[in-house]
Structure formats: C-alpha cells, structure tokens
Structure 1
Amino acid sequence: MDNLPEHLLATIAEFLNTRIETLCFRAVCNSFRSSVPPPLPPLSHFKIPFPPGMTDDGYLELTESTVYAIQPLDKSTETWLVKVEESNSGKIQVMDPLFKLRIKNSSEMLPESFNLLDYRVKEIAKSFRLEMVSNSHPFYVEKAVVSSDDDNAGEFVLMALISEGRVGVWGSKDERWAIIDFGYESFYCKDIIYHKKKLYAMGFDGFTVAVDPKSLNVTEAATAPGKSQSHLMMHSLVKSRDDLFLINTYWIYKYYQHGPLLGRIRLDVFKLDEEKCEWIEEDGLKDQVLFLGEDGSFMLSAKEFPACKGNSGYLMYMDLCGVDFDFYPPTEDVAYFDLEDSSPGSQPGALSKYWEDFWPLPTWFRQKTNLKLSMVEKITHADA
C-alpha cells in the first residue's frame, strides 16, 4: 500500500476522528505513517490550580481515560470493553469501566503490548478525573469534562462539577477559574457533559443549559421534562452518536432478602431536540446498551456490537468517591437492567453478569502471541 498517492492518503486522513483511528492508520505502512502526524498525547497528570476560595500550596491533577471496544477480525459477535488511563510515556493503567477505580493487578491479566492490526479497535468514550495533590483542605470534584480547541491544537477548556452543585470552568491558557453564573441562585447542577463543541450543565430537575467554551456565554438548552421533578431520581447526561440523552433512573421498589438486594429499576429516556430546546421522551433505549458510570457514561449500538443486548445495560448506583482498591471486583453497587424484562432483578446476579462481561480477558485476546505493536506505537502497562 506504499504506492497510494499522497492526496488520497490526505483525504482519508481527514476522516480520522479519534486518536485510535489515527494510530491504526499510521500503523499500516511507512507512507501511511508519514502522511499524517501522530495524535496529541492524552492529558496525563496535567497540573491545574484550585478554584476560587481555595488557599493551598498544592494543585489539582487532571487525567484522561478512554473506553475502547476491541473485537477479533474474524468474530464480529465478540466484543471486549476496556477502559485505560494512558501516560505520555505510553504506559497504561487499566480502569474499571464504570468506577473511578484503578485495577492494580492488571499486569497479571494483560499482555505487554498488542498489535492494532490484529483487532478492530474503536474508541467509545472518554472520561476525565480531577485529583487533589498536597491539599490539606476538603474539596470534592464530582465530575470533569474537557472541550478541545480545534483551532489551537493542544489547548482545552475544563468544566468541573464541584461541591454544592457549583460549576467551574478553567482554560489551559488561564490563570484562574471562572464560576458559571446560570442566572438564578437555585440552580443546583447534577451532571455535566461535552457535546457538539458545547459544554452542558443540567440541574436537579432536568433543566439544561449550554455553555460556550470560549465566551462562557450561557444559553438555555432544554426545559425540565415533566417526569424529572423527583429528588429521588438519578439524572444523567449521555451522548450517543450525534444525539444527547437525559436518563432518569430510579427504583420502582427494592428490598433486601437474606442479604441480596432485590427490586426493579426504572429508566425514563429523553432525547434533546436542539431546535425546540426541549427533552423529547423516547420509548426506551431501542438498540442501545447503556452504561451509567461514576465519572462518565456511554452507549453502544447492539447492531454494531452484536455481543451486547439492546434496550439494556448497567448502572452504578452508589458513588465510591474514587477510592482505590487492592482487589477486583471492588463493590456490589452495580445493577443490570433489561427494559424488556419486567421480572425483578437480583443484584448479586447482576453483579456476576457485569464481571463476566469485562473480566477475565476473552480467550481470543489471550491467545495472541505475535504482540509487537501497541496502542501508542510502543505501549506497556503499569500498575499504580
């Protein structure tokens, strides 16, 4: 393939939307590699000052994680999801797909590297984490999202959901944070997301605003849907393809029986109508598989990934605040739901299904022996 004309390679490169696509493209041959520059490195341990009101000699540290879907070339019905945190040196730390947890014994599970050309590898979602370094004052960052600047490579804007429902914004070229004024004091933010070059913040009732990353202008994105008034709901913003969804999650009933938690989980699904500025109720998830996580949520298409069942998914229903664990699995606070099945769900059974879908590694991945390339042209894994 070294004889392809340069203008054709340049045209193909314009359709590379993610970092993993660029890496796979560059791994084909020398001409492919020279036709497009390497992607920007992930945000790894980026130092950020504290928001207003915090006086400390420490700093916050921003780290980027990515969820990948990996499939063997000869089996489209097999899919393995893995979330990794990658350093600038190429080392990766395996994370739990739903929790802010580093899997410390991942070196015993994974090969030292793997060849991108042996698999179909697709980037599914990104999440970002802010951690305190040398901080003696209590400060809690619930969630962080990042907006990249297409016009100025390497620059970004960070939006963080901090304590007491406040939302702060910090740019990579700024010295100080800005606390977003939403126009009225009662706005208590429950979730944030980056979608179509805008930052979105959602209140506890589903009322949603859009924030321009450059000007910080705030505009109304959607009024609160009628079913979002309960404080007992978990409100989550999730994007899928070109659409933005609001997911309201709550228990219809739950009870404990000799230890296991039994019950029935309900999901109300809404899709954003950008022209009408309102949430439109959807009939379930259709062919989508939903993963509601602690620091980020995502959807998969069951048509694209047949190993997954549509109109179902997993959700984490208790925040562990990013605590590290020396063992895996770390918790029992994961529920599996199937919107087409009206029978009560058993939490231990749901938990077992969750672990089976992610660990141990599938046999088709473990059996590969010609592992020469990696996710960053030279990648190894590292235990934190």
Structure 2
Amino acid sequence: MGIYVHVPFCRSKCFYCGFYSVASLKLKEAYLGAIGREIDLRRGYLQQQEMHTLYFGGGTPSYLERGELERIIRKLEENYSFVPGMERTIELNPEDLVPEKLQGIKDLGFNRLSIGVQSFSDEQLKRINRTHSARQAMDGITFAAGMGFDNISMDLIIGLPGQTEAELLDDVERASGLPIAHLSVYMLSIDSNTVFEHMVKRGEFRLEDEEVMAGRYQRVCERLKELGFEHYEISNFARNGRYSRHNTSYWQQKSYIGFGPSAHSYDLYSRQWNTANLKTYIDHLNEGTLSFEKEELKPIDLYNEYVMTSLRTMWGMEKQKLEGEYAEFWEQVREQVRKYEDSGDLIEEGGRWRISEAGWVISDTILSDLFVV
C-alpha cells in the first residue's frame, strides 16, 4: 500500500501541464493545516496502516521548505507505519537540485528523486515555460547522484512544439549519459485548461500527426533498449530493475490513499478524488469535512480497470485471473485476444498476455477492443 501527497504549488504554470496547481504561495500555511487535518480525518480509510511507498507529487513539492515537508511527514508517521527501506519519492524541478535543498530532502528520508526535465533544448524549455536550463538539469542530476541519491528518475516529452526527431533522440542520448536509474517518456497531449489548449484553439499550435508521434515513440523505445533500459510500462523505462515501486502498485491495482487537493485514493472497492480547488479543500477541512467525489466499482469496472492497468506493463494480464475472477467478461473478448495474438501485438507467455514491443504503439486500440461496456 502507498501514500500519495499532492503539493499544489508551482512557481509558474508549464504550458502543457494539466495537473492541478496554483502559481501562488498565499494559501500555503492554510494548506499545511488542512492536509494535517485530512490525514487525521481519514485514518481508517485503508484496512491496514502499514505503508510500502510514499510519493510527494504536484505541483512542485520541492517548492516547500524542509520544515514544511517535515510537518507533513511527521503527521503521516503519527497515523501510519512505514516499512523499513520503503521507497520515498519526491518530485523536483532541476533548479531545486542544490546542496541545501537536497540535504534537507535526504535528511527527511527521501531516497528516490523524480526530476521534471522534459527537454535538453533551452529553446524548447522556454517554449513550454519551464524555469530551468538544460545545463541546470544535467549538472543538478550529476550533483544529486554525487550526494548519494542512487535512484533518480527524469521525464522527457515527445511532440513538443517544433521538436524534431533528431532533437528528441539527442535528448534520449543525453539522458542515458546521466546517472539516472529510470526514465519516463510521455507523448504530449492537449489537456483541458492549459495554455497549449488555448493555443490550439487559436490556431497557434497543433499536435504532430499521430503516425509521426508513433514513429518517434518507437524509435525512442528501440534506442533506450539498446542503451540498457528495460521498457516495463508504456511510458516508463528502468535500468537494473529500478522500477517505480509506487507507480507499479497503481498498475497492479494495490490500494493507496491520496492527500491534498485533487489527490485520488483507491481501497479495492471504490475510487475517490478530492476537489481540485485549493480554497474549497481548505474551507471544508477547517469545518472538519472533506470535499470529494466517489465512485463505487462494479465487477465490470474492476475487469476493465484490470485490463487497462495490467496491459500497460510488461507483466501483462494473468490468464488464471481472467478465466476465474473475470470469466463472465473474458468470454466476451476471447476472439479479440486471438486476433491480436495472430497479428503479433499480443503475446502469451508464462500464463500471461502482454503487449509486444511493436504493439505498444497501438495499445489504446488494443485496450479499447478488450474493454466490456
């Protein structure tokens, strides 16, 4: 089981980002009080209190001071048991990879860093409103490794405005030369309420053609494999088995609890998500309640989620589980599975079906065909 903490503060809004955040610290103290109350209020949400992963995401968690991060962690430790050696991840921007900040994070027990690099082109970084330079990212990651952080992840984006294939592959080469254990490579999408969405509506920017994006994705996958990275999830690659334990627990449908505005939680039977409005979140918790929505999951929902999450990974879906727990729905999609086996996009191995390396490109289509409505 895992804990996710959403820190909604950013110095500025990146043009592509659809995650909930605010570019102001005005409500920071009120947020810290509210999240402490939420942690106490929801102590009984999960059946067990023993936690295996902790993930601080955002927003920009490293925008908080050491004492503020510690305040949240101590409140969590009052309510949950953290297993020895648990994975503790915090997201950072490259400009925060400085000695004092990193030492504070290390002292708080964080042992995995997730760095939002996105590109090693300064021109691209300006286009998407990132506040760091390529040199800051490279030097910062190298410095963090030198301080003893041996589990560093970073992000890149495929399909940035004006990005060429050569630039993208150069980003991959630069990333592989850094002391990172993990790399996430995302295809740009246009999320609602983002600057890019408004630019698309005004005709100032458009996404690359799907076939072009798919081709670039394939070449990135091929090159990372040559460079010693294992492709273990649609967008994620790891060296030496250093998978993200926290995110893998999502894909393996393990329960988790999320704290903070817009954070999601899953208790095996239902999903719920907090309001994506900081002021509403704070106001409700000041009154002793939580503003959230909830969805009770029916058997068909659980089947569809199992297909969606398991086929995102190299481990795939378990034949025994499909034929037993989900037999009613499995009968309806057998022929579709056979079709993708014949095309080579699905592979059966060791009692599991997984998407082949070539099939990753059409994973959305495969998943859609295996869903039951």
Fold conserved between structures, TM > 0.5: no
TM (norm. structure 2) is: 0.26
| Higher fraction of strand | 1
| Higher fraction of helix | 2
